Chain A
Amino acid sequence: MLERDKNRQMDTSNLITEYRADPQRGFTRIYEAFSDKLATYVRRSFGLSDADVADVVHDAFLPWVEAPERVGSVENLSGYLFSTAKYLAMQKRKQLQAASSDQPEGIEPSSPSHSADIEDVVIVEKALSTLPEEQREAVVLKIWGDLTLEEIAQMQGVSVQTAASRYRYALLKLKEKLSWTD
């Protein structure tokens, strides 16, 4: 395991310990650490709109403010949060598909804070939308969610090797699509 992953797991462990001791302060720190990661995952893996992303992130964090005693026993914080967000995003997508079956597939362009990044974000999100869902999820969770391949494998219910293959194939395809020069 990389040093970066070890440090991240220690940080996550500290966050949950802090939350157990003081839910109010602990929640603020967890929210700061994960809200944007969850939003990015929901946005780029499921192609939801900004408003729907906000709803999913809100609902994913809701138990952490309403019932600290229930979620305080969570061991793998990042795994739990991303799994919750995945479930909620799938529910939301089902609702949207049921509401309008003729809604076009794909990802609407998001609104990044820096205008200089808009172009890159749009290009990347467009390229991501062409990937198979499992590969897209693997690359989004690894790159912007900071999850390890073991955690991605757990979330997808596959072996680590399968998760690693999905990630590798996703990168190869993105390399072709983006055709960035180094």
Chain B
Amino acid sequence: MDRLNDRDPLEDRLRKIPRASVPASVFDRLQRKASWNKPITKISLIPWLAILLLIIGLALAWFIISRPTGVISKKDSFPPPVIVASQPPVLASSNQEPDSIEDDPLENPRLRRQFREPTISGFGCETISSMEELLLDKS
């Protein structure tokens, strides 16, 4: 290999032949395109600003949508509703024993559901158990 790298007289002479040159305009063109010569303009910030505004807008929309509605401050609130005490449910034959299981609110699931609804307070009872006690007392 060393023999191959030995300098030939022709090689020396060829080396003296000048290289081709590149016009200076090539370097100038490259410098104009260089990333380090490109100033950071406001235009390049626009996409980031748009993304930021979008995020803020989404957060605001989420806040507005998720805010609980119907919240009334104490100052503006209406006076508490007057609850009129009502009588317990009157069965078809209130003084008698229930004719069948269907009329018995303790046995009939439909009636039980009905009494479990919020309207139960309208009967003067707060819970099913209190209704049951009431009905048992009646019987």
> B-contacting residues of A (Cβ < 8 Å)?
1-2, 5, 23-24, 27, 31, 35-40, 42-44, 50, 53-54, 57-58, 61-62, 64-68, 110, 112-114, 117, 120-121, 124, 139, 143-144, 149, 160, 164, 167-168, 171, 174-175, 178, 180, 182
Contact = CB atoms under 8 A, between A and B. Distances in A.
Given A2-B5, A168-B4, A124 B14 contact: yes
A1 B1 CA distance: 8
Given A23-B36, A57-B22, 18 more contacts: A5-B5, A40-B20, A44-B20, A50-B23, A54-B25, A54-B26, A58-B26, A65-B33, A68-B35, A112-B21, A120-B17, A121-B17, A143-B11, A144-B14, A144-B15, A167-B4, A168-B4, A171-B8
Nearest to A25: B36
A66 B104 CA distance: 88
B22 A39 contact: yes
What 8 pairs between A and B have smallest CB-CB spacing? A65-B34, A40-B19, A43-B20, A39-B20, A36-B19, A40-B20, A164-B4, A24-B36
B21 A36 contact: yes
B26 A66 contact: no
From A58, A120, A121, name the one whose CB has the most chain B CB atoms within 10 angstroms: A58
Contacts of A112: 18, 20-21
Contacts of A40: 19-20
A54 B22 contact: yes
A131 B99 CA distance: 121
A174 B10 contact: yes
B10 A58 contact: no
B33 A66 contact: yes
